């Protein structure tokens, strides 16, 4: 299949959007890797000049996209059952915002062998929706609160709040090992990506003195035999930050096959649990430009997580 040269004139609905995000939305079915390759090779032009993925679009910009060749593919249609399950995950919605409780194992967007994630499923279900974009991302294995914007104004405002750390995020994590430290602890360790490890599905994140400043706050909840339950509050938003920081202090997250002990997987499965025990449990958010007053959203632990905790022996502290 061949798509001819395309030219997009930027209207107010795409104002301020990054070029890469704009093209990912417009070129449905085109792999992200192909989109980034076209930009890198200078084949995508903004007003006849070379462009970068991070370029912000302004009103009346002309974006030229070269011919795109794609093999013919057939994808299974989104089933009514899938959409019913996803719709039942929505815990809040208004004219600006959708908040849902994402199940573990569901990607937030397509890519890396995933044909459809949360955003594609919702767009397919709500084809009449004028605008729908992810405010932030969660790892596929992480469960809990995920926010989506229903307007460009909401997206820009919430991105600004997110970047300034005005949005307070709380996770619950079950980690290996019995907690010996103070009830409150801060992990301040710079992080960087090891992009040379091509055997991984995504870049491995490392503690690196020359990496980006990163901070995670921890609060003790409960000790179990061989495990500890923690509140985790990331103060920066680096990729895999929580997972790497907890592993760096000798308490990797239960079920983390990337940063945790690989020999514990069989043990977990024998106990009836195979997920990553990391849950986005609460978010506090506001957006002054939209008159969105401070709101607090909470998601309880999943049924599997609660069942696994009930099977553990709690330690008296």
Per-residue pLDDT tens over the stretch 235-289: 998 889 999 999 999 999 999 988 988 778 777 877 778 889 999 999 998 876 6
Told to judge if 139 belongs to the known catalytic residues of this protein, a careful annotator would answer: yes
Q: What is the pLDDT of residue 115?
A: 67
Question: How sure is the predictor about 72, in pLDDT bands with cuts at 50, 70 and 90?
Answer: very low
Q: Are residues 227 and 147 in the same domain?
A: no
Burial of 200 per CB tally in 10 Å (0-12, 13-18, 19+)? exposed
Residue at 31 is within a domain = yes
Q: Are residues 186 and 242 in the same domain?
A: yes
Q: What is the pLDDT of residue 51?
A: 93
State how far the Cα of 221 lies from the Cα of 279, in Å rounded to an integer.
14
Q: Which residues pair with 4 in a beta bridge?
A: none
pLDDT at 10 over 70: yes
Q: What is the pLDDT of residue 74?
A: 41
The alpha carbon dihedral of 191, 193, 199, 200 has a sign of positive
State how far the Cα of 246 lies from the Cα of 277, in Å rounded to an integer.
12
Q: What is the pLDDT of residue 292?
A: 66
Q: Are residues 154 and 114 in the same domain?
A: yes
Q: What's the farthest any 2 CA atoms get from each other in the chain? A: 68
Q: Which among 69, 96, 111 is the end of a domain?
A: 69
Q: What is the CATH number of the domain that holds 28?
A: 3.10.290.10
Q: Are residues 119 and 176 in the same domain?
A: no
Residue at 74 is within a domain = no
Residue at 61 is within a domain = yes
Residue at 182 is within a domain = yes
pLDDT at 154 over 50: yes
Question: Which residue range is the domain that position 9 belongs to?
Answer: 2-69
Q: Are residues 143 and 171 in the same domain?
A: no
Q: Which among 158, 190, 222 is the end of a domain?
A: 158
Question: How sure is the predictor about 112, in pLDDT bands with cuts at 50, 70 and 90?
Answer: low
Q: Are residues 100 and 50 in the same domain?
A: no
Residue at 316 is within a domain = no
User: Highest mean pLDDT: which of 22-26, 80-84, 91-95?
Assistant: 91-95
Residue at 317 is within a domain = no
The alpha carbon dihedral of 233, 100, 135, 121 has a sign of positive
Q: Are residues 43 and 92 in the same domain?
A: no
pLDDT at 75 over 50: no
Q: What is the pLDDT of residue 95?
A: 85
Q: Are residues 106 and 129 in the same domain?
A: yes
Q: Are residues 245 and 279 in the same domain?
A: yes
Instruction: Give the dihedral of Cα atoms 244, 250, 254, 255; nearest 10 deg.
Output: 60
Residue at 208 is within a domain = yes
Q: Are residues 64 and 88 in the same domain?
A: no
Q: What is the CATH number of the domain that holds 174?
A: 3.30.2350.10
Q: What is the pLDDT of residue 203?
A: 56
Q: Which among 126, 158, 190 is the end of a domain?
A: 158
Question: What integer is the mean pLDDT of 305-312?
Answer: 91
Question: How sure is the predictor about 207, in pLDDT bands with cuts at 50, 70 and 90?
Answer: very high
Residue at 75 is within a domain = no
Domain count, the chain: 3
Q: Are residues 110 and 141 in the same domain?
A: yes
* pTM of structure: 0.75
Q: Are residues 59 and 89 in the same domain?
A: no
pLDDT at 76 over 70: no
Given the residues 139, 217, 263, 291, select the one marked as catalytic.
Answer: 139
């Amino acid at each position: 299949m061949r798509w001819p040269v395309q030219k997009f004139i930027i209207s107010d609905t795409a104002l301020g959007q990054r070029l890469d995000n704009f093209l990912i939305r417009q070129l449905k079915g085109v792999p992200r890797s192909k989109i980034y390759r076209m930009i890198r090779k200078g084949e995508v032009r903004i007003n006849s000049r070379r462009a970068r993925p991070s370029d912000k679009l302004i009103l009346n910009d002309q974006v030229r996209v070269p011919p795109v060749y794609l093999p013919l593919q057939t994808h299974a249609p989104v089933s009514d059952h899938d959409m019913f399950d996803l719709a039942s995950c929505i815990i809040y919605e208004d004219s600006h915002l959708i908040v849902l409780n994402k199940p573990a194992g569901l990607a937030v967007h397509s890519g890396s062998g995933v044909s459809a994630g949360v955003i594609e499923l919702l767009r397919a279900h709500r084809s009449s929706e004028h605008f729908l974009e992810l405010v932030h991302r969660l790892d596929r294995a992480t469960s809990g609160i995920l926010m989506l914007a229903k307007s460009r104004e909401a997206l820009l405002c919430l991105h600004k709040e997110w970047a300034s750390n005005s949005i307070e995020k709380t996770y619950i994590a079950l980690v290996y090992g019995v907690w010996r430290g103070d009830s409150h602890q801060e992990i301040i360790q710079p992080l960087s990506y090891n992009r040379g490890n091509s055997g991984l599905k995504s870049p491995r994140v490392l503690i690196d003195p020359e990496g980006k400043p990163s901070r995670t706050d921890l609060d003790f909840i409960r000790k179990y035999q061989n495990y500890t339950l923690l509140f985790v509050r990331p103060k920066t938003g680096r990729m895999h930050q929580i997972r790497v920081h907890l592993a760096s202090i000798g308490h990797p997250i239960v079920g983390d096959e990337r940063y945790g002990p690989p020999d514990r997987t069989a043990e977990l499965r024998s106990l009836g649990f195979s997920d990553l025990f990391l849950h986005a449990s609460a978010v506090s958010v506001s957006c002054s430009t939209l008159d969105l007053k401070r709101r607090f959203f909470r998601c309880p632990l999943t049924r599997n997580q609660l069942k696994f905790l009930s099977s553990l022996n709690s330690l008296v502290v």
